[in-house]
Structure 1
């Protein structure tokens, strides 16, 4: 309950006031009850604590502050002689030790019978230990030969059943505890070892939250959170900034996640007397969960160092204790370091494991930059991974405001998923980058022999335990875009013998690619049936669109301002002043695709402009979030039109600017082809050509290319080459949660079909290593990530990276840097309008 609680039974205090909102507490009310009569149970909860340190630790924090009872209340009935708590230490060598604490000192000859039961219900071993008279505890020790070990990859659980027996063997009280055999070892300047194996941490921070219920979650919701993390191939979670429900830890035990279990304290800390009580509550409740690997004492200097030793008083396993954002316990956990500074931290002697990094905001952070960070982190001898910030948006459903989701501006809009777990693009980037099986073949051609280069990045799992599914497919062309992807051949094969943390080659015996096969899918599923990732390859570069050259020669009409070419009901108008395509119509009906090709180039302002900032201007900081479009200073040099064969050509030449030429071909069937060229010399974040089309007339898009999510220069992972389709949408980041977004930059597009209110615009892209831009991504209302120039419908050679909430793009790795371009760029597009 949040955070001060007084309990009365029949008007009398059950005990002292409890202070601390995230911790289990109890009272023995035996002497306050009226047996055989109705009893009055009163609970008073105060939203603000009378203890200033509790408010500092729990309520002066960067998250929603609620009041009231947030977790279940139980009425427990126990016999006079009973178990109060049990602490288990089960090691990887099969040794088992349990401390059983009773509710009071015993006066008779009592004993504890301990039985170990495996997951199938079979009893493995039992033992009986006697309790000395006057004692309130006993220790049981056992040894099991070759137990199945617990790890995040192999979450093997056992059950320990404890029976408190009277002198004649009568069961007085019985309780059970689930546990796992596993050993934790921190090796100085080396890493974290689970069961004698060094592990990499692929983690995320998590708050307990749902829009409708705040921090109150049922069992199903807790399990849902864990399954969501496992779907992203994560193996760890930090319980920032307070302990979670016990059901969440049960899910981590059963499904497999390493847990950092945290004492409250955002930036403020509990005073020592209060903290001592809360550490005991935290540890004694969660001590037996095998998933709990670390205790963390507060967050970002919200630690009371006088409490560091308290954790081991109650933890029989003596787990490592950390200070998130601090250097303590052999771990350097500093938050939000730049790519370069992270490498500096790795040179320190301590184990590098940032407990927060790549701070999300809207569509930034998380997956953006992760590949660069992860390649450095996983390879460095003192780095073991880290924890992204944060799992989900914390938006409250405001019933007082029409049910809108309130993320408190940008404060709660930093999740990998939305408030109802809507999956954003970074979700799939993380899933691919953190897949424990990695297929390293970048390209596959028609002569592919079936040999795949593979890295097994599991810590404990041989690749023989996973399954590969493959499909040879035929993708539809732009001409038959209504067709579905056809599966020509398919198969399934168990993985080959590649040990964990090693690499090798695996051959899949598949037929040679038939002439109609132009794509390959390979997916990998783990031993639990969960797909790790689905890779795709385009086998050949798509064949150029061949317009129908048979038919009537297009007609040409000219005046002093324009050239009009008519062909098979299509009409195209070109300006003699700019050389741009200015009008398109089909059968007399206008399609507002026009004003191009225009060169577009932009660069983000950088920090070298600091000396010119007016730091008293609240908008000054936004300068490095603004992408300034370069002026196109070029002018038309010449434009000509002529017939050649059965086609008409319009050739446009430019001078004194970036655009150098645009050469159009209008075929007898009305197909419009464009060969263009531009020149650029300099540093650029966004570069290509664009056309205008009114966004308000857009209906949907369908494309063959990487999808279904847009990409950024530093977030190219997480998409699959396939046929995708999305309806038009324009969600406001942090306020509306429709995914995947319609607008943005889309990689490896072979063709794209834009359905509009006026008709269909089909674009075949014959330009290698390019992106099709569909307008520009929308930022949140506060424009904290980017302000991009309007780019309409574009074909781009360079797209921007996206920053995170803390660091601008220049600070988050090689993939996030602007491009240095020098020379001419050429491209080819083919258009059809219907």
Structure 2
């Protein structure tokens, strides 16, 4: 086909999605020698074209250099762009973040397959030298990922056209290439028919964002290799089926030899000469005998060496393909891996880097997979497109179950602002969209079919339902019966229920899931998306994981999502920050809805991971002073790679630690001695018994000593008598406006006018910069905003900033002085609150807060006292649940102990400033300066919730970005009886579960002691 036949009409034609593109094939590597193949050396038959390319950007097709591909066309004055990379992150155009709507919504009135006039075009030119030893050999080019459609020319001649941003597109350059210098030209269009199928919840980019390379092949070449390593019905004996498709030029008499090695390198099976059949394939079966099965727990990989030979026996090509013997099946309505019921402890993962977008590299992937393994996640859904080949190889090697999802999402064509309205849904039942959609499925399957980590094919995401997707599902089943098929969209249209092998829903509440599981379910259930982790979230996750033991057909879920999709940007003063939708002037946009990760955009884990790691752990540890109950939820791995440590702490301080022998098989329970000496916990105090399972040796994904599971229990030994009041003298000076209370080395001042404690000095150092006041409002979280908390509960915001003191009282008794204030609130009629400060001779103040509830008021977001101290008090030490922030509905993964942290490090780095940094179960909190001087907050009877932050709730409430927060001058201390949970079933209306709310019609009281630090 000549260049004049390359047509822009293809961009808007669903029937044209590939021109001259080669058929999809496996992602195996091939070499000239066995030694290179077995060493996994860089492929000499590949030549990378990554790097700097000449580049021109046009905002629309009319302004592009139409003849740029012609020989002799000068690119003088063009810019340079890096490949792989996105156009919009290298100085041209702008990134745009939208979720469900199409990026042109409200700007152009179009319907599929029409395209918007704003269709940026990137024109790329690469001059390259053909490797000298390739001259005269067949040469091909592979584009691993181009968004969203592109045309290719070589030396002025048209080569081909392709769509599908996330699977390889390859072309034969042999007719056009020449020895020495060559000129490659690529025109990349941001919008095409593919754009209607790529409406994923992500940043909208374009360009050549994955690797580009040339490759050559020997004259006898394995174009495609398919390996299936199956287990028999006992899950012990393995049979490997191999099918090799040779290039059309392979002569009769060509043959292959196959040799299979186990994970330790021992040869377990070999073939004789396997001849080429009439269909151009070589098929072989190797009986491996008793094998070591592959699973995420024990990712044991075999190595299949395939050598291709000429009819005379000369070696032409060598391939090493990793294989894992495993069986994934649906049996008695349960999904089984190697005969065992699987529970997916999963997460949805975009390919993303905060600097390079979806153009990620090996280091990004290694970081991600280590984080997954270190935090007990065993599964990933590739939301919502196929990933780079290396990701699947790492999942094979490290052990991760994968739902491999094809590149399909047409969300904006059927759901508008949450309402299901599929009147113009694509692909639906439209036959003109069948081939383009099926091609995406085939491109994924054919490339990825040999990876044992992939256990389920997914037909895409949130594209409603219809015949087109049902046909894709049937294709998957027919082409690959060794895996199951997933699709969630049938929930909206049960006429296409057969599309999915499992019931799969998004953001269903635990009660809704139970209703399904109690109603004679015909399919196992997974939550393909749950626990929407936007901002400060993941509250109530335990309500989902508790279903795993209660209902066998509940087989886990996939958190949305893994990593915040935030991009590095500079503010007007040149300082970098993490930007979200709208920060680039992009409109329309969905703003910060891209920040849903359990990992921050810079690749560091967020505090939410603390809960995820605990609830996903494979071992349940219940310790006591005498013994530790160990319950293994592992399917295949015992505890031989782990050691069990038992620690005893008294009032947060370590008393004793022991390493306990342990040998518990998969799925077994055992009671083992704790290793703690008898009578060690007799002195008065609070005792924490903690059991910890740690890696005995280094693993690929973590060093020896890494904790994989823990459990705690708490016991108290009470003192025989109450402690007496501190001895000493107290002086009181009651003035007209203030009440002064004095003792040795301290002084306090209470104001009748400011209606609070206005000064507290220990050793001459002031503690109070802004007086304690009642607080009923927290800086709204993303989930709070999703439930319109400011609208429904805004009266408590007003009550926090506008109160009236209706009376005060001074009481003197032996050894104490009490000053009490009563507050009322115009926005909360009928409710009132008193704060009584009881000063003792040692300068400690017992603060008792009593809240009187009233009918007809919204629940309380928080019930607290808050005050400011100097920012010089910039260090904290906690005896509380930690070490990371936690809330009433997200504290299972927190442990009771003593932790230290700088005040500046306590708030979490969410994209939008919001409530963060809270700790529950607070027994004691010390707030200190650099010299260790300061004050403490100590619980009296019931543990407290506390937050220490450089910013007040009101400052956080009014900032949309971190850079909008004021400079730090204070340390804000908030002491609470309770705070509303953070929720997380979804972020657009799901309320916090009732048991984690604070009804405002009840009465509450809490107490703490404010005293000098004893540090």
Decide which of 919, 923, 935 is 1:761's aligned counterpart.
935
Deviation, 1:586, is 3.8
Task: State the distance in 1 between where 2:754 and 2:737 align.
Answer: 10
1:44 is aligned to 2:186? yes
Decide which of 455, 458, 463 is 1:293's aligned counterpart.
455
Deviation, 1:521, is 3.5
**Aligned equivalent of 1:205:** 348
The answer to whether the Cα contact below 8 Å between 1:604 and 1:624 also exists between their aligned partners in 2 is: no
**Aligned equivalent of 1:57:** 197
1:803 is aligned to 2:983? yes
1:233 is aligned to 2:398? no
The answer to whether the Cα contact below 8 Å between 1:2 and 1:47 also exists between their aligned partners in 2 is: yes
**Aligned equivalent of 2:216:** 77
Task: State the distance in 2 between where 1:466 and 1:456 align.
Answer: 12
- Output the aligned Cα RMSD: 3.6
1:324 is aligned to 2:488? yes
Decide which of 648, 661, 676 is 1:510's aligned counterpart.
676
**Aligned equivalent of 1:564:** 740
1:194-250 CA distance string (max 9 Å, x none): 111111011100011101221122222212211111122111100011101111111
Task: State the distance in 1 between where 2:779 and 2:170 align.
Answer: 57
1:405 is aligned to 2:578? yes
Task: State the distance in 1 between where 2:165 and 2:397 align.
Answer: 27
Task: State the distance in 1 between where 2:886 and 2:836 align.
Answer: 27
1:311 is aligned to 2:476? yes
Task: State the distance in 2 between where 1:110 and 1:562 align.
Answer: 101
Consecutive unaligned residues in structure 1, runs of 5 or more: 477-484, 606-617, 784-789
1:674-724 CA distance string (max 9 Å, x none): 455555577844454414225766523222211232222211122222222
1:309-340 CA distance string (max 9 Å, x none): 3334553x542122134353221212112232
Task: State the distance in 1 between where 2:405 and 2:992 align.
Answer: 28
Q: Are the structure 2 counterparts of residues 549 and 323 from structure 1 closer, same or farther at C-alpha, using a change threshold of 3 Å?
A: closer
The answer to whether the Cα contact below 8 Å between 1:664 and 1:673 also exists between their aligned partners in 2 is: yes
**Aligned equivalent of 1:693:** 868
Deviation, 1:797, is 2.6
1:810-833 CA distance string (max 9 Å, x none): 645455444587556353424227
The answer to whether the Cα contact below 8 Å between 2:219 and 2:250 also exists between their aligned partners in 1 is: no
Task: State the distance in 2 between where 1:92 and 1:462 align.
Answer: 21
Secondary structure (helix, strand or coil) at the match of 1:91 reads strand
**Aligned equivalent of 1:187:** 331
Deviation, 1:390, is 0.6
Secondary structure (helix, strand or coil) at the match of 1:274 reads helix
The answer to whether the Cα contact below 8 Å between 2:690 and 2:712 also exists between their aligned partners in 1 is: yes
Consecutive unaligned residues in structure 2, runs of 5 or more: 1-145, 233-237, 412-425, 428-432, 491-496, 582-590, 781-785, 824-829, 962-969
Secondary structure (helix, strand or coil) at the match of 1:76 reads strand
Decide which of 546, 570, 581 is 2:757's aligned counterpart.
581
1:278-298 CA distance string (max 9 Å, x none): 322211111010000111111
Task: State the distance in 1 between where 2:722 and 2:352 align.
Answer: 52
Deviation, 1:465, is 4.9
Task: State the distance in 2 between where 1:815 and 1:742 align.
Answer: 20
1:249 is aligned to 2:424? no
1:137-180 CA distance string (max 9 Å, x none): 02111211210000111100011111112333221211111110
Q: Are the structure 2 counterparts of residues 10 and 545 from structure 1 closer, same or farther at C-alpha, using a change threshold of 3 Å?
A: farther
Task: State the distance in 2 between where 1:812 and 1:654 align.
Answer: 30
Q: Are the structure 2 counterparts of residues 779 and 182 from structure 1 closer, same or farther at C-alpha, using a change threshold of 3 Å?
A: farther
User: In the comparison of the two structures, how many residue pairs are matched?
Assistant: 781
Deviation, 1:548, is 9.0
Task: State the distance in 2 between where 1:809 and 1:829 align.
Answer: 38
- Structure-to-structure mapping, 1:771-790, within 5 angstroms: 771-774=945-948, 778=956, 781=959
Deviation, 1:560, is 4.3
When structure 1 is superposed on structure 2, of 384-393 and 748-757 the one drifting more is 748-757
Task: State the distance in 2 between where 1:227 and 1:742 align.
Answer: 29
TM-score (norm 2): 0.70
Q: Are the structure 2 counterparts of residues 791 and 11 from structure 1 closer, same or farther at C-alpha, using a change threshold of 3 Å?
A: closer
Secondary structure (helix, strand or coil) at the match of 2:365 reads helix
Secondary structure (helix, strand or coil) at the match of 1:144 reads strand
**Aligned equivalent of 2:440:** 278
TM-score (norm 1): 0.85
Task: State the distance in 1 between where 2:211 and 2:571 align.
Answer: 26
The answer to whether the Cα contact below 8 Å between 2:837 and 2:847 also exists between their aligned partners in 1 is: yes
- Structure-to-structure mapping, 1:333-732, within 5 angstroms: 333-346=504-517, 347=519, 348-364=521-537, 367-398=538-569, 402=574, 403-408=576-581, 409-440=591-622, 448-449=625-626, 451-463=627-639, 465-473=641-649, 487-497=654-664, 499-500=666-667, 502-512=668-678, 513=680, 518-526=687-695, 528=699, 529=704, 530-536=706-712, 539-540=715-716, 549=726, 552-575=728-751, 580-592=756-768, 595-596=771-772, 600-601=775-776, 622-624=790-792, 626=794, 628=796, 635-636=806-807, 638-642=809-813, 644=814, 647-650=815-818, 652=820, 658-659=832-833, 662=836, 664-667=838-841, 669-674=842-847, 677-680=850-853, 684-686=859-861, 688-693=863-868, 699-729=874-904
Task: State the distance in 1 between where 2:476 and 2:693 align.
Answer: 41
Deviation, 1:626, is 4.7
The answer to whether the Cα contact below 8 Å between 2:621 and 2:691 also exists between their aligned partners in 1 is: no
Secondary structure (helix, strand or coil) at the match of 1:429 reads helix
1:135 is aligned to 2:135? no
Q: Are the structure 2 counterparts of residues 514 and 760 from structure 1 closer, same or farther at C-alpha, using a change threshold of 3 Å?
A: same
The answer to whether the Cα contact below 8 Å between 2:536 and 2:916 also exists between their aligned partners in 1 is: no
The answer to whether the Cα contact below 8 Å between 2:682 and 2:717 also exists between their aligned partners in 1 is: no
